[in-house]
A and B are shown apart, each in its own frame.
Chain A
C-alpha cells in the first residue's frame, strides 16, 4: 500500500521535474523559463521528498528532515527567483516578442536601483 503511494508520488514528482526541465529548455525568454522552473521543480522536489518522508516513517528524524527540506525549498525558491529575475531586469535581459505588457519599464532609478511604486505618477494623472 505505502509502496504504491510512494511509487505514485515519485512518479508525479519526477514528471513535474521533467516538465520543469523541458520548460527551461523550451521557453522563449528568461522570465518565462524562470517562472516555469521555480515552481515545477519545487513541486516535483517536494513530492519526491514527501515520498521519502513516507518511506522512512520508521525514523522520525528522517521524516522531519524530509519535511524540513520541503519547507526550505518552498521558502527559498521564490526568493531566489525574485532576486535573479530582478537582476536580469537590471542587466536588460530581453523579453519574448510575444510579451504584451511591462509595468516595470522606467520604474527603477538608474543610480540607486530604488523601485518606485508608480503611485506618485498615478496621483499626478488623477490631479
Chain B
C-alpha cells in the first residue's frame, strides 16, 4: 500500500517534470492520472486496499466538512440569537480506537466539529471524556460518534 502510494507520487512528479509546470493544479492532475494508471495496472493484484482507501479518505473528508459546517451553523445560530438552547455536559465515551495515532486523529476530528470537545483520555486509553454542547441523550450521542466519525476513521486507518 505504501509502495503504491509512493509510486503514485513518483508518477505525479514525473508528470510535473514532463509538463514543466510547477503548480498545484498540475500536480493534482498528474496524481489523478497516476492513480488511474496504477488502478488499471493493479486490477489483477490481490492487495487492492490502496485503491479503495483513497476514495474513502476523500469521502471521509467530505463528511467531516459537512459535519463541521452543519454544526457550525447550528452553534452560530445559537450564538447570535439571544437565548441559549444548549444543554452542555461531559460525556464518558468508550472508544474502539486503540493506537496513539488513532486516538489522536479521532479526538482531533471530534474536537474540530463544533459542539464537541475532547477534555481528556483516560490513563488506560480506553475512554474519551467529551464535552458536549447539545446533549439531549447521552447514548444517542455516543451512538452517533461511533457510527459516524469513529467507524469511518478506523476503516481508513486499519
Chain B interface residue bracket vs A: 35 or more
A89 in contact with B79 (CB, 8 Å): no
Residues of B within 8 A of A39 (CB): 68, 71-72, 111-114
Judged by a CB distance under 8 angstroms, whether B152 is at the interface is no
Q: Which of B3-11, B42-50, B118-126 contacts A (4 or more CB under 8 A)?
A: B118-126
Q: Which of A19, A29, A86, A89 contacts B80 (CB 8 A)?
A: A19
Residues A103 and B91 in contact, CB atoms below 8 Å apart:
yes
Chain B 1-48 residues near chain A, CB threshold 8 A: 22-25
A81→B112 CA distance, assembly (Å): 10
Q: At the interface, yes or no: A95 with Cβ under 8 Å from chain B?
A: yes
Dominant secondary structure of chain A at its interface with chain B: helix
Cα of A53 to Cα of B61 in the assembled complex, Å: 19
Give the distance in Å from the alpha carbon of A2 to the alpha carbon of B50 in the complex.
Answer: 34
Residues of chain A within 8 A (CB-CB) of B23 are 57, 60
Q: A26-B79, A82-B111 are in contact. Are A99 and B88 (CB under 8 A)?
A: yes
Give A74's nearest chain B residue, CB to CB: B112
Q: Mark A70-86, 1 if CB is under 8 A from B, else 0.
A: 00001101110110011
B129 within 8 Å of A by Cβ?
Answer: yes
Which residues of A are found within 8 Å of B145, using beta-carbon distances? none
Q: Which one of A29, A34, A60, A74 lies within 8 Å of B117 (CB-CB)?
A: A34
Least Cβ–Cβ distance between A28 and chain B, in angstroms: 7
Closest B residue by C-beta to A29: B88
Q: How far is the CB of B89 from chain A (nearest CB, A)?
A: 3
For B84, list chain A residues within 8 Å (CB). Answer: 28, 98
Chain B residues whose CB sits within 8 angstroms of the CB of A32 once the complex forms: 86, 88, 133
Residue contacts A-B, CB under 8 angstroms, 28 given:
A19-B75, A22-B79, A31-B90, A32-B133, A35-B115, A35-B133, A36-B75, A40-B114, A43-B68, A43-B72, A57-B23, A60-B24, A74-B108, A74-B112, A78-B107, A82-B117, A82-B118, A85-B120, A98-B86, A99-B88, A101-B91, A102-B90, A103-B90, A104-B90, A116-B123, A117-B124, A119-B94, A119-B126
In the A-B complex, the 6 residue pairs with the closest CB atoms: A101-B89, A78-B111, A117-B122, A103-B92, A117-B127, A35-B117
